[in-house]
Chain A
Amino acid sequence: EVQLVESGGAVVQPGGSLRLSCAASGFTFDDYAMHWVRQAPGKGLEWVSLITWDGSTTYYADSVKGRFTISRDNSKNSLYLQMNSLRAEDTAFYYCTRGSIATARYYFDYWGQGALVTVSS
């Protein structure tokens, strides 16, 4: 059974930093690209970042570019999101998702339960 379990969500002050982790199991982790998707409370979904299977290539939404860094450790079956210079508008549930391919682009076939990040003073 595929499982994705996020951790690291917390309350952090504006301008602060936080690192989210996602532990993957039930599939061959280094066969898949991984993504982070977020959802502000009561709002819709927003794609945040993508990392390819080997970690060689990363992509980011403009809203987080230069502030967030996605990474992975295939030896630990783990995905990470380092978030710096946090803003109030970054407050959201952050979901770790597995990417599968259709017409050369990804969809998200498995999701974690989400980690809540609250940016507030």
Chain B
Amino acid sequence: QSVLTQPPSVSGAPGQRVIISCTGSRSNIGAGYDVHWYQQLPGTAPKLLIYGTGYRPSGVPDRFSGSKSGTSASLAITGLQAEDEADYYCQSYDSSLSVYVFGTGTRVTVL
């Protein structure tokens, strides 16, 4: 029972910009906890993509960017590439449940 809601899928042509939303509540994103994003390529373990809402680990292209406003967060992918086809998950902390929570996941398809 994920408390962070993401669209099941988004798609775009190569070179386009896509945005993945992550909708939470006042007990998680709205409480000021950072949002982090993970990329999971088919058949592999998740990999950290964005931390602290908007920071990229070393090696992650600047085509990926994160932001947050109110009780929601977003991951933007600009200049979409075929290698970006993957599942993407947001993550935060929920103070009401006292657990770390993940989003429902979004599959990105490059047309």
Interface secondary structure of A, over-half rule: strand
Q: Which of A12-20, A69-77, A107-115 contacts B (4 or more CB under 8 A)?
A: A107-115
> Which B residues are in CB contact (< 8 Å) with A103?
32-34, 52
B47 at the interface (CB under 8 A from A): yes
Q: Is the CB of A45 within 8 A of B102?
A: yes
Proximity string of chain B (32-60) to chain A, C-beta cutoff 8 Å, 1 when within and 0 when not: 11101010000011111001100001000
Q: Could you say which of B2, B34, B57, B103 contacts A105, with CB atoms under 8 Å apart?
A: B34
Q: Is the CB of A109 within 8 A of B45?
A: no
Q: Is the CB of A105 within 8 A of B48?
A: no
- Across the A-B interface, how many residue pairs have beta carbons closer than 8 Å? 65
> Which B residues are in CB contact (< 8 Å) with A95?
45-46
Query: Which A-chain residue is minimally distant from B98 (CB atoms)?
Result: A59
B101 at the interface (CB under 8 A from A): yes
Q: Is the CB of B100 within 8 A of A106?
A: yes
The answer for the CA separation of A88 and B107 in the assembled complex, in Å, is 26
Q: Is the CB of A44 within 8 A of B104?
A: yes
> Which A residues are in CB contact (< 8 Å) with B45?
95, 111-114
The answer for the CA separation of A112 and B45 in the assembled complex, in Å, is 7
Residues of B within 8 A of A (CB): 2, 32-34, 36, 38, 44-48, 51-52, 57, 89, 91-93, 98-105
Residues of A within 8 A of B (CB): 35, 37, 44-47, 50, 59, 61-62, 95, 100, 102-103, 105-114
- 18 example contacts (A-B, Cβ-Cβ < 8 A) are as follows A37-B46, A46-B102, A47-B99, A50-B100, A59-B98, A59-B99, A61-B99, A95-B46, A102-B36, A103-B34, A105-B92, A107-B34, A107-B52, A108-B36, A111-B45, A111-B46, A111-B48, A114-B45
